[in-house]
Homo-oligomer: A and B are copies of this chain.
Amino acid sequence: MIDPRVASGTRDILPALAIQRERIMRRFRETFERCGFAPIDTPVLERREVLYSKGGEEIQRQVFEVAARGQQLEESELALRFDLTVPLARFMARHVDEVGIPFRRYHIGLVYRGERAQRGRYREFYQCDFDIIGSRSAVADAEIGLVIHDGLRAVGVPGFTIRLNNRKILNGLLDGLGLTPHTAHVLRALDKLAKIGDAGVLEELQFGEAQPEPADTGRAAPTERDTATARHDRSISSAPRGVRQRVLSLEDARRVLDCVASAGAGSWSAVLDQLAGRLGSHPAAREGIENLRAVCALLRAGGVGDDAIVVQPGLARGLDYYTGIIFETMVTGHEDYGSVCSGGRYDDLAGLFTERQLPGVGASFGLDRLTQLMADAGWLEQRSTVAAILVINFQESDSDAYVGIAQELRRAEIASELYPDPRPLREQFGYASSRGHRFAVIAGPDEIASQTFALRDMATRKQQNGLPRAELVPIVTAALRA
């Protein structure tokens, strides 16, 4: 006998979870398409040359290489993609003339990272990206925010905040203080704000890394790695590691922290006014502030409540990748899960593959993280079946009647399962109860003879008998709506 276990760092998804994850994916797809984003697909198997072009050192160490059986690794050019952004860059360089710009695409697909297995982290997981390529406008930025908002509403997240920042604000601040060479250091320190607080960050700003840090300790991540993190550690992973040494003076560190931390309280317009007062004289910072003001106003025009928008000048998210707006999204009351949708704007998507400069803005939902959060929060239905109805099977000779019932319900869009064997009634009821069917449709020999059926509510165990068979669909429809 062969052991039926899965490989380390991978998992089987059973129906109860798969049904919910499928439902969440469907809602995301519907949201993307409603907002004009078309699907594309690119291979999971990419040429190593493409994959090794990008991604920090940490991700590069985690690439899986692939060879056809009988080949050596060195004889093969293949590897498994680690995100959907490098493939998008390659895709755009190759197909930009065919697809044209502006180009909106979404892409839900598997990615791979050879991390050491640990709880809640998987080597194979989904990313769920959406981007607008070929525009530098605040409208494009706002559209990404609207997809985040509409997507989370569509999957049923009751409350969340979209956190916004613009890389240019911090660039302006650091430029004004003469600290531009320390940009990466400052971003890395600020990235820990939620985790280690003001005092900790003040220390970090002055002294740099105290110890080597794994790719993404910058944020709490109790669930598996998702795209949010991917877009994050793409750059964090290039963090230098070394001994503790002074970087910023206490005074400079205080200035940086004051600007980003204290400004983080209040409505988006108040925060932006405060930032404009402090940094508005610097052209880059002003540009960043005005971009956020425009985007926030457009989100409001698009129906996003002001309480769901937070301007957070300390938001760092990636060192050298994003060049404009930055997004993170926290589920209210579940901030410890980290961001469930993150992204931002980049000036030059595909510079490694083409001379054509392609600006863009995008984000991705952390599908597995969000699914886990919603499951933990009790927001997901617990059913192991997709079918509302179980059609009971009494005897083989009446199979045609059962099939007729099931198909009539299905044609009316009522998901129905037919029990395949004439097992004892108790056994079939037990099956329906454990799976989560809402009703059993019962048509035994007597019912068939009298052209009736019975409907049993599996939760209450109440059963209505003698219902007219001719009214099967309206009766079941009404029962499901009740």
Contacts and interface: CB of A to CB of B under 8 A. Distances in A.
Interface of A: 1-7, 10-15, 18-19, 21-22, 26, 29, 32-47, 49-50, 53, 60-70, 72-73, 77-80, 90-91, 93-95, 98-100, 102, 104-105, 110, 112, 114, 123-124, 132, 135-140, 142-143, 146, 150, 294, 297-298, 300-303, 350, 352-355, 384-387, 390, 393, 396, 399-404, 406-407, 410-411, 413-421, 431, 434-435
A66 B68 contact: no
Contact of A2 (B39, B49, B102, B142): B49
A65 B66 contact: yes
A6 B48 CA distance: 10
Contacts of A399: 138-139, 142, 294, 298, 301
* A interface SS class: mixed
A48 B12 CA distance: 16
| In the complex, the 3 A-B pairs of residues with the closest C-beta atoms, listed nearest first | A36-B417, A68-B114, A10-B43
Given A36-B417, A61-B69, A102-B421, 15 more contacts: A5-B94, A6-B43, A6-B46, A7-B78, A12-B95, A18-B38, A35-B416, A72-B73, A102-B420, A132-B420, A138-B399, A143-B420, A294-B399, A301-B403, A302-B403
Contacts of A64: 45, 66-69, 78
Which of A94, A135, A386 is most buried by chain B, counting CB atoms within 10 A of its CB?
Answer: A386
A355 B44 contact: no
Given A18-B39, A39-B18, A386-B36, A402 B139 contact: yes
B354 A4 contact: yes
Nearest to A49: B2
A69 B77 contact: no
A394 to B, nearest CB: 12
Given A12-B94, A12-B95, A18 B34 contact: no
Contact of A1 (B1, B73, B297, B354): B354
Contact of A420 (B34, B45, B139): B139
A147 to B, nearest CB: 10
Contacts of A99: 14-15, 384
Nearest to A350: B4
B353 A47 contact: no
Contacts of A294: 399
A150 B42 CA distance: 30
B114 A47 contact: no
